[in-house]
Structure 1
Amino acid sequence: MAAMLAGCGVATASPPAKSPVPSEPTLINYVDPSMVQGMSTRSLTPEASKGRRVHATYPAISHAPLLTEKLRETVAESLDRFTRRKVSRGALPRPEFNVDWQLAAASPEVLGVRLRIGQSMGSGWRESRTTVWYDRMSRRALDSPDLLKNGTALATLTGLVRKELALRGPLVNPSALKPIPEMFDSIGFNPRGDLVVEFDDEQVSLGVTGRVAVAVPSATAAPLLSATGLRARDAAVGTATLTSQEDLLAARGDRPAAHSSKAGGVDCARVRCVALTYEDGPGPETGRLLNVLGAHGARATFFALGSNASARPELLRRMRDEGHLVANHSWSHRDLTALPPALLADQLTRAQYVITQAIGQVPTLMRPPYNTADARVTSTARRLGMSVVRWSVDAEDLRDPDPRAIARRTVDRIKPGSIVLMHDVHDATVDATPEILREIAAKGYTFVTVPELYDPHAMEPGRTYDSGTVSDVLKNQSMP
């Protein structure tokens, strides 16, 4: 089963040293997105989640607006189908929709973006895979079948792939494969230049959820490729990335623990302190938020997503340089309690690697997506040296587009030692921040990072914190 349903690792930044060509021919290595000029990320949020857990992010490239729009449309269509599906009231576990992405290739001539769209309606997890290509020469956004010359090439490729699937055993159904573009919507290339076709869960397998992929040797595939396909193959050759969790852990080296460069001058046992926290970024609004915080002399804690951080590491460095604290919010915002141990660890470890590489410091805090954590999550956090941070004040900025309402709700709920939840990927949140800062400061509060709420008592890895209300630390809880 492991050999038949071989999967590829989550994308992360490429290490400086060259990695060996993987022995599994269907493994696709990925490009470090920070190497692509004009790269950022965008998020889609449904108007009403209806109790569902939704996180949908896709890349945006400033010089390839047609590619960005095609990616948005692809994600939006999948999200719309998900939100239209009926769910019984009170169903557990809660339905979840998640979009992860990787750069399958990048060169001066071509870009490739692989979307991994996963969803669960409460039982089982199913993933679909789509790779979209952008030909910089012709300025066209293309579907994967457009890498082939024509319909004849598609029919030939179908026959080649069927023959390989026939060798996979009774759990794979070669006859399910048809020479239609919809079944070849994720075509990429491994570092050797072999063409890799991958399928959605259960698309060509009999009730088995998992990635099924076939590699066609480069020499065999070359005559089938269009001019764009040949450029895409050349762009993918030699691409290298980390694939083992051990390598990711080792990459941290002897880096120091993440900390605020401006911490140490505030005693939260004597003055009113509040910790503003922002999560899900960095995104297109993060730079503007940093401008606002800087103008008010306020510091915050940023729980960054690894996938977003890999695209905008310069924003994480700016956070560090301006006295903020950078922490871990997982790689792609999956519900960690719904994952098996290996995937749970992978979500946190890969985010640790990307953040560490960006800021030169190892995060010591993590926040679980959707605020869901169990004993397995806290145990994994402990092993990785991170405390679990929740919150005591929810600005509810995800559901409310009105900056004034966000600000009023936040200010009214603040108490000494509060940890405030907000999101730096929403423009309304950034718009609300100046008022939040002015009114809270007027009440005599000082803005600090989360660990400063607990100083001089160090936060412990694996322990959960939701406010700075420890009695022997915050004596001012009884202040009038």
Structure 2
Amino acid sequence: MFKVRFVGGIACMVATMAGCGVATASPHANSPVPSEPTLINYVDPSMVRGLSTRSLNSGEAAGRRVHATYPAVADAPRLTEKLFKTVTASLARFAGNDVPAGALPNPEFNVDWQLAAASPEVLGVRLRIGQSMGSGWSESRTTLWYDRANRRALESPGLIRDSAALTTLAGIVRRELALRGPLVNPNALRPERSMFDSLGFNPRGDLVVEFDDKQVGLGVAGRVAVAVPSATAAPLLSETGLRARRASVGTATLISQKDMLAASMDRPAARSSKAGTVDCAKARCVALTYEDGPGPETGRLLNILGAYRARATFFTLGSNASARPELLRRMRDEGHLVANHTWSHRDLSVLSSAMLADQLTRAQHAIVQAIGQVPTLMRPPYGGTDEQVTSVARRLGMSVVRWSVDAEDRDDPDPRAIARRTVSQVRPGSIVLMRDFRPATVDAAPAILRELAAKGYTFVTVPELYGPRAMEPGRTYDSGTMSNVPDRRSMS
């Protein structure tokens, strides 16, 4: 039923430029497993049938930047429901926090995910929940499991046999933490279920226990995790835990950021197969752009665009692209343009250069793996850009694309209002911002296409607005009538 391969790891997620990477399928059966014992395999989501993604995105509501994604698996509805409840509960706590007056940067909430395991017996989903209230970024990690044998969705402590086994596990982990130095406080660890909400397995089958930031150590300690040897952990595991371990064991090697970039070296630049058929110096051109997908509504949107013979530019999230590569291939084949919207929708303007490059490179790798072409455009989430963002984009060969028309569809459930607002703002050369994961946005598409076509507009991809003038890496573009605008941090 499942075709599973290991394509990723969860070690030092924000530090690939410093030498940590992601694990991927090994080309050699006898390849050694990574030496870092807390590295966790994750499964390529595109190999799990019936998996799609869900998103919660309130943009800049109340001055807070919110974006969360999580998977939905068709034959595991209880897992999907539990993931939704976990994400929304975390979001509610974030929304309930007071925002300091004049807080900069904007408070931000972000959730991304990985499959810790997938087999005919179990599914494991690891959520990484990050937030900032204007200063300092902190992350919590939660891994939820679905036992197919009894159709139960469990939190990580469900992998442990009973409370006595949890107490034994706490003692083992505490002794290991005592060896970590002054940044870690082993006395903070208690044999409580809440302390063990992210359990997984490394390629050897060792039990990996990971903690939230500041849970058992100082903030500067970063991710704290302990690997309990397989032979020691096995007697502590429940039946679900044993199934989860079987599903997690495999070989893996590390892919560095350098290797990700090398994988794109010989691929052609992404380009619409219909580029060059319209002269926007003569025609009334508009570039419809969609971001944050692909998602459950994207296929329907592609049907609508095809019916109107319109093409668009899709700024895709790497995490969603890895789950639905077939939708990216369809975009390519139907004349649309696929572009980069980062891996997990973090505000790039507040990240270090290394973290910023990691967000773009991981997304770039996922897109290239899907379509065999290298995106040359990127859109920063929330439009947040500055000199560092454009510098990294230049180094990676990408132009920065913002917009001149915002459909303001992030919270509006009324397709007629979205269409009316969009059409009224469009001018020749406009770049229109919309979101393809929202049903109301897709419902609005026929009216937008019909009314703009009646006004004589032709729908093209972003580079076509500029005709023979090639878009330059590192340059910021807002519309076809403004080839370059000063870099600035957007508050839109």
Distance apart, 1:399 and its partner CA: 2.7
Residue from 132, 138, 152 that aligns with 1:120: 132
Structure 2: gaps of 5 or more residues: 1-9, 485-492
Aligned equivalents of 2:141, 2:57: Cα separation in 1: 20
Q: Does 1:319 align with 2:316?
A: no
Change (3 A) 1:99 1:436: same
The more displaced of 345-354 and 22-31 is: 22-31
Letter in 2 for 1:210: G
Which secondary structure does the structure 1 equivalent of 2:369 belong to? helix
Aligned equivalents of 2:366, 2:445: Cα separation in 1: 27
Report if the CA contact (8 A) 1:13-1:33 is conserved.
no
Q: Does 1:27 align with 2:32?
A: no
Letter in 1 for 2:239: A
Counterparts of 1:290-309 in structure 2 under 5 Å? Answer: 290-309=302-321
Distance apart, 1:23 and its partner CA: 1.1
Give the corresponding residue for 1:232.
Answer: 244
Distance apart, 1:8 and its partner CA: 4.8
Residue from 122, 133, 148 that aligns with 2:160: 148
Report if the CA contact (8 A) 1:12-1:32 is conserved.
no
Which secondary structure does the structure 2 equivalent of 1:50 belong to? helix
Report Cα offsets for 1:119-156 as digits up to 9, x if no partner: 00001000000000111111111111110111111001
Letter in 1 for 2:27: A
Identity %: 77
Give the corresponding residue for 1:38.
Answer: 50
Aligned equivalents of 2:65, 2:47: Cα separation in 1: 31
Distance apart, 1:88 and its partner CA: 3.0
Residue from 442, 452, 455 that aligns with 2:467: 455
Counterparts of 1:101-120 in structure 2 under 5 Å? Answer: 101-120=113-132
Q: Does 1:17 align with 2:20?
A: no
Structure 1 runs, 4 residues or longer, greater than 6 Å off: 9-13
Give the corresponding residue for 2:146.
Answer: 134
Which secondary structure does the structure 2 equivalent of 1:45 belong to? strand
Report Cα offsets for 1:184-213 as digits up to 9, x if no partner: 000000001110000000000034351100
Residue from 12, 23, 29 that aligns with 1:7: 12
Letter in 1 for 2:151: R
Give the corresponding residue for 2:401.
Answer: 389
Residue from 44, 54, 72 that aligns with 2:66: 54
Which secondary structure does the structure 1 equivalent of 2:400 belong to? strand
Report Cα offsets for 1:430-457 as digits up to 9, x if no partner: 0111000000000001000000000111
Give the corresponding residue for 1:476.
Answer: none
Change (3 A) 1:208 1:17: same
Aligned equivalents of 2:59, 2:391: Cα separation in 1: 35
Give the corresponding residue for 1:341.
Answer: 353
Report Cα offsets for 1:29-56 as digits up to 9, x if no partner: 2111101101110012359821100001
Cα RMSD, aligned residues only:
1.9
Give the corresponding residue for 1:169.
Answer: 181
Change (3 A) 1:391 1:239: farther
Distance apart, 1:418 and its partner CA: 0.3
Which secondary structure does the structure 1 equivalent of 2:94 belong to? helix
TM-score scaled to structure 2, two decimals? Answer: 0.92
Distance apart, 1:240 and its partner CA: 3.3
Report if the CA contact (8 A) 2:23-2:255 is conserved.
no
Aligned equivalents of 2:254, 2:109: Cα separation in 1: 26
Report if the CA contact (8 A) 2:477-2:483 is conserved.
no
Change (3 A) 1:459 1:206: closer
Give the corresponding residue for 1:332.
Answer: 344
Structure 1: gaps of 5 or more residues: 473-480
Which secondary structure does the structure 2 equivalent of 1:41 belong to? strand
TM-score scaled to structure 1, two decimals? Answer: 0.94
Q: What is the number of residues matched between the two proteins?
A: 468
Give the corresponding residue for 2:418.
Answer: 406
Aligned equivalents of 2:92, 2:153: Cα separation in 1: 22
Distance apart, 1:369 and its partner CA: 0.4
Give the corresponding residue for 1:466.
Answer: 478
Q: Does 1:159 align with 2:164?
A: no
Change (3 A) 1:425 1:16: farther
Give the corresponding residue for 1:477.
Answer: none
Distance apart, 1:89 and its partner CA: 3.8
